[in-house]
């Protein structure tokens, strides 16, 4: 292809990309090889210069171009200097000696100091040989094979089924879209295709349970349009939202690509996966309860008196302090995430600086130090490391009996275990202490049923609470967009933001957000 005659310089850059990938990872083999490489370098330079004339960066057209081009230039420069030194009288003399040695016996190289002085490297350039030299660093695997290794690695590290449920679907979509390519052969055109088509995936609405793979939904919309006949009804298909693109698909592909590059299954750097068009719905803000909604929601029967546990939304004389009662109040008065509340254990209510707190941490205090030297699987999961923190228990929660609730669970467990053993008289002090320790490891809200996805075994901590809150909002006819089970946490956020003089770092600590965004916060 003639660079000067090409109508679109971007096409030239994309056409040169596979060859640049191949040359950048290989060392110069001989004089003929460097001639070819220097000629290619000149052509690539003109191509990228032309692209810059369009006010574009080469990396914008072909992600990874800059790094590979710099690597090629450096290797060509090193080899050129070595060749110049080898053409001197001393250099040619050493080269002849090396040829005689190679012809008569096993390889004999000159001393490293002499070789470096004459050739610029410990091993001078060998005579011209046209045998193909294979790189041992990179491994040619198809994308599906890399995905299998990625999932297995995540599993071996004790990570739950989130990889299979959140990362694998979008990677499998790309595998089907590109016909399972070898990752070392993926070029700029492939990446542009991914960025263009991921945004065209429809939502699951309008598809059956056996038709929900991302590729099936995408191919259906491509072939049959965005109106689908299902159960004799026309269903208008809609593209996935910007929230899904930014929060699930982009991080999933980034994590997969990072793994592939780290293990030499793909060339770096990691591409920038930015998806979205005007047809993808923007992210919906989670809104906070306003004052009227707080009074309506928390003035409903589950908090003031209901008919029974099964009929908690009907008024009655029963005062049920179950998981729904405590979770919503802790979210409103403490700002904890629902998934964090679900994982609280009885031992997580502790005194901190003379005040009662929830201690949200991976392990119990006496286990924390042990985990440093003998890590074991399990423990509490947090969204990030910053999620682990102390949360002050509001006075209202104390008046409602959260500590007594904890003590009742601990006492019930101890009494049951002692009864099993035939009475306290049959147990030693050490055995009684073990039972008490076990009692404090019990869930603070034992009636909170945690949903686990059957296929991937991913734990969905707040799934049940989300459904219960959604039902409650409908029951109370609170239909304002943006309200969810997170609205209580955001209402707490509003109260915190009204505190005068509170630093941004303190606010982040209260909510369990990262404080490492800049040096001063860190």
Helix or strand run (H / E) with residue 451: strand 451-452
Backbone region of residue 326 per phi and psi (left: phi > 0; alpha: psi in -120 to 50; beta: other values): alpha
Contacts of 186 (CB under 8 A, 6+ apart): 178, 266
Q: Is the dihedral of CA 22, 25, 30, 32 positive or negative?
A: positive
pLDDT at 432: 93
**Is 118's pLDDT higher than 60?**
no
Q: β-strands 451-452, 459-460: how paired? A: antiparallel
| DSSP assignment string, 247-279 | IIIHHHHHHHHHHHHHTTSS-SS--------TT
**Is 420's pLDDT higher than 90?**
yes
Contacts of 454 (CB under 8 A, 6+ apart): none
Q: With cut-offs at 50, 70 and 90, classify the pLDDT of residue 173.
A: very high
pLDDT at 66: 87
Which residue in this structure is represented by tokens 């994308």? 143
Q: What separation in angstroms does the CA of 146 have from each of 142, 168, 254, 507, 509?
A: 6, 11, 14, 41, 38
From the list 216, 227, 237, the residue with the least C-alpha distance to 279 is: 237
Q: What count of Cα atoms within 13 Å lies in the side-chain half-sphere of residue 95? A: 21
212-246: pLDDT as tens digits: 799 999 999 999 899 998 888 888 999 998 888 98
**How far from chain centre, in Å, is Cα 475?**
36
Q: Which two tokens stand for residue 312?
A: 């908690």
Q: Which two tokens stand for residue 438?
A: 């076990």
Instruction: Please compute the mean of the pLDDT values over residues 144-148 and round it to a whole number.
Output: 94
E runs forming strands in 233-392: 233-236, 349-352, 355-360, 389-392
Q: Are 69 and 25 in contact (CB under 8 A)?
A: no
Q: What is the mean pLDDT of the chain?
A: 85
Enter the pTM of the model. 0.60
Q: β-strands 355-360, 389-392: how paired? A: antiparallel
At residue 33's C-alpha, the angle toward residues 109 and 2, to 5°, is 165
Distance, CA of 31 to CA of 87 (rounded, Å): 12
From the list 191, 184, 177, the residue with the least C-alpha distance to 275 is: 191
**Is 352's pLDDT higher than 80?**
yes
């Amino acid at each position: 292809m003639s660079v000067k005659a090409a109508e679109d310089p971007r096409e030239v850059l994309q056409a040169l990309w596979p060859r640049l990938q191949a040359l950048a990872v290989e060392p110069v083999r001989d004089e003929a090889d460097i001639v070819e490489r220097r000629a290619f370098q000149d052509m690539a330079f003109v191509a990228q210069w032309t692209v810059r004339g369009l006010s574009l960066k080469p990396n914008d057209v072909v992600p990874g171009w800059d790094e590979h081009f710099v690597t090629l230039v450096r290797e060509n420069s090193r080899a050129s200097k070595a060749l110049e030194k080898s053409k001197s009288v001393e250099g040619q003399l050493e080269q002849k000696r090396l040829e005689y040695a190679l012809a008569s016996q096993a390889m004999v190289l000159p001393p490293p100091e002499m070789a470096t002085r004459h050739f610029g490297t410990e091993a001078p350039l060998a005579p011209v040989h046209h045998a193909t030299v294979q790189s041992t660093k990179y491994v040619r695997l198809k994308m599906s094979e890399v995905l299998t290794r990625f999932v297995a690695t995540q599993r071996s590290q004790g990570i739950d089924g989130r990889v299979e449920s959140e990362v694998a679907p979008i990677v499998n979509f790309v595998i089907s879209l590109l016909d399972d390519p070898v990752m070392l052969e993926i070029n700029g055109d492939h990446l542009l295709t991914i960025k263009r088509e991921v945004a065209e995936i429809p939502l699951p609405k309008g598809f059956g349970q056996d038709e929900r793979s991302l590729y099936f939904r995408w191919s259906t919309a491509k072939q049959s349009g965005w109106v689908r006949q299902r159960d004799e009804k026309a269903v208008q298909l809609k593209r996935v939202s910007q929230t899904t693109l930014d929060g699930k698909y982009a991080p999933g592909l980034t994590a997969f690509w990072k793994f592939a590059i780290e293990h030499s299954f793909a060339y770096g750097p990691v591409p920038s996966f930015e998806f979205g068009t005007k047809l993808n719905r923007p992210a919906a803000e989670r809104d906070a309860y306003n004052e009227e909604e707080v009074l309506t929601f928390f003035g409903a029967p589950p908090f003031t008196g209901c008919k029974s546990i099964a009929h908690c939304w009907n008024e009655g004389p029963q005062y049920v302090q179950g998981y729904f009662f405590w979770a919503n109040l802790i979210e409103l008065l403490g700002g904890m995430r629902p998934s964090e509340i679900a994982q609280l254990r009885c031992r997580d209510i502790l005194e901190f600086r003379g005040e009662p707190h929830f201690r949200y941490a991976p392990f119990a205090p006496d286990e924390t130090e042990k985990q440093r030297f003998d890590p074991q699987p399990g423990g509490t999961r947090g969204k990030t490391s910053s999620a682990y923190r102390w949360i002050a228990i509001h006075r209202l929660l104390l008046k409602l009996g959260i500590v007594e609730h904890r003590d009742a669970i601990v006492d019930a467990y101890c009494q049951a275990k002692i009864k099993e053993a035939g009475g306290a008289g049959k147990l030693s002090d050490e055995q009684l202490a073990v039972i008490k320790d076990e009692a404090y490891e019990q869930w603070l809200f034992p009636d909170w049923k945690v949903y686990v996805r059957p296929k991937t075994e991913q734990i969905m901590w707040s799934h049940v609470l989300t459904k219960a809150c959604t039902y409650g909002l409908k029951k109370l006819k609170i239909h304002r967009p943006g309200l969810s089970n997170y609205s209580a946490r955001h209402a707490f956020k509003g109260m915190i933001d009204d505190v005068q003089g509170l630093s941004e770092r303190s606010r982040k600590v209260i909510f369990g957000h990262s404080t490492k965004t800049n040096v001063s916060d860190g």
